[in-house]
């Protein structure tokens, strides 16, 4: 999938090739798996905007399609009620004492995220509209696969959390009859901090696969480390001590 604004600015791609063509390729993002096919659940909130969902519902598997989504079904119209004006002194107080900068991200006390759109006459203008609000969006789409196997669905949820595809296949998945899902974590991940990843993955599975999954258990197996053979260090030290004693004795006898 490639998405661009009505002004032609590409902001979302699914392949490294498309990222290079658009001039937005970043090596670090490539390493993090950003340029990969989109994993979506059609009809579930949080994956696609309304217009894109409606379009994909009508597409056949492996079909390609280009479509323009109007603002009302993309990221919404611009809402003047979502623009706030606050004094610079108040802004500094809410922003750890820092002065405002044009284009700066800002989060208010309610947790709303906005951008500093202007600074004028001692006032800071903050826009809480979506950055793409009010714009039609052009999409180039291609459906490349349909995920039907249960375990494969779990793996793709892992991939959506940043786990490389080849690593996701190493997790052992066991689905019990009581809707309990057990996921055994492979050795390569045991010494990584996966707290947030496990929490987010469990939430996604319980939300989007609620018909099959209620509880999610993560299993970490730490095998007993082999006990190393007795170190020769002790015997060496004993020999050194014996040698020192003999040397001391000879020294005393020669006095």
Same domain, 59 and 85: no
Q: Which segments of 71-208 are extended strands (E)?
A: 83-87, 105-107, 113-120, 123-127, 137-142, 172-175, 180-184
**Residue 153 Cα distances to 9, 145, 161, angstroms:** 32, 12, 13
Q: Same domain, yes or no, for 209 and 223?
A: yes
Query: How do the residues of the chain divide into helix, strand and coil, expressed in percent and rounded to 5?
Result: 35, 20, 45
Predicted structure pTM score: 0.68
Instruction: Provide the residue range defining the domain that includes 58.
Output: 2-75+135-142
Q: Among residues 172, 218, 226, 178, which one has the least CA distance to residue 195? A: 218
pLDDT-based confidence at 188, cuts 50/70/90? Answer: confident
Residue 112 sits in the same domain as residue 151: no
Q: Which of 142, 169, 194 is the last residue of a domain?
A: 142
The reply to whether 204 and 253 lie within a common domain is yes
For residues 240 and 210, membership in a common domain is answered with yes
Contact 71, 135 (CB under 8 A): yes
Examine the fold and report which residue of 100, 119, 142 is the final residue of a domain before the chain moves on. 142
Question: Cα separation of 194 and 189, whole Å?
Answer: 8
Question: What domain count does the chain have?
Answer: 3
**Cβ burial, residue 13 (10 Å; 0-12/13-18/19+):** buried
**Whether 192 and 111 share a structural domain:** no
Whether residues 184 and 240 share a domain: the answer is: yes
| pLDDT tens for each residue of 227-241 | 766 555 556 566 666
Residue 2 near residue 11, CB atoms below 8 Å: no
pLDDT tens per residue, range 105-163: 998 888 889 999 999 888 999 999 999 999 999 999 999 888 889 999 999 999 888 88
Rounded-to-integer distance, Cα 189 and Cα 174, Å: 18
88 and 165 inside one domain? no
**Is it the case that residue 89 has pLDDT exceeding 60?**
yes
- Of all residues in the chain, the percent with pLDDT exceeding 70 is 88
- CATH number of the structural domain spanning residue 161: 3.30.70.2210
Q: Quick one: 12 and 30 in the same domain? A: yes
Residues 121 and 94 in one domain: yes
220, 204: one domain: yes
pLDDT: is 12 or 164 the higher one?
A: 12
Asked if 116 and 214 sit in the same domain, the reply is: no
């Amino acid at each position: 999938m490639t998405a661009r604004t009505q002004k032609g600015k590409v902001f979302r791609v699914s392949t490294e090739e498309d990222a290079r063509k658009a001039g937005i390729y970043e090596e670090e993002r490539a390493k993090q798996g950003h340029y990969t096919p989109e994993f979506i659940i059609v009809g579930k909130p949080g994956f696609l905007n309304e217009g894109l969902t409606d379009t994909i519902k009508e597409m056949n598997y492996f079909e390609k399609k280009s479509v323009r989504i109007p603002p009302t079904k993309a990221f919404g119209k611009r809402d003047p009620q979502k623009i706030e004006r606050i004094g610079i002194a108040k802004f500094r107080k809410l922003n750890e004492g820092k002065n405002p900068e044009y284009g700066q991200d800002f989060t208010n006390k309610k947790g709303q995220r906005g951008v500093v759109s202007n600074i004028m006459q001692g006032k800071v203008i903050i826009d809480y509209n979506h950055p793409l609000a009010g714009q039609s969006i052009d999409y180039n789409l291609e459906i490349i696969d349909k995920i039907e196997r249960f375990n494969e669905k779990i793996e793709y949820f892992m991939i959506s959390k940043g786990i490389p595809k080849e690593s996701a296949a190493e997790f052992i998945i066991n689905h019990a009859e009581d809707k309990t899902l057990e996921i055994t974590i492979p050795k390569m991940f045991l010494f990584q901090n996966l707290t947030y990843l496990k929490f987010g993955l469990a939430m996604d599975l319980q939300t989007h696969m609620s018909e099959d999954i209620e509880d999610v258990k993560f299993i970490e197996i730490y095998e007993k480390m082999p006990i190393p053979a007795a170190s020769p260090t002790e015997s060496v030290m004993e020999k050194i001590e014996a040698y020192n004693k003999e040397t001391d004795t000879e020294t005393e006898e020669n006095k």
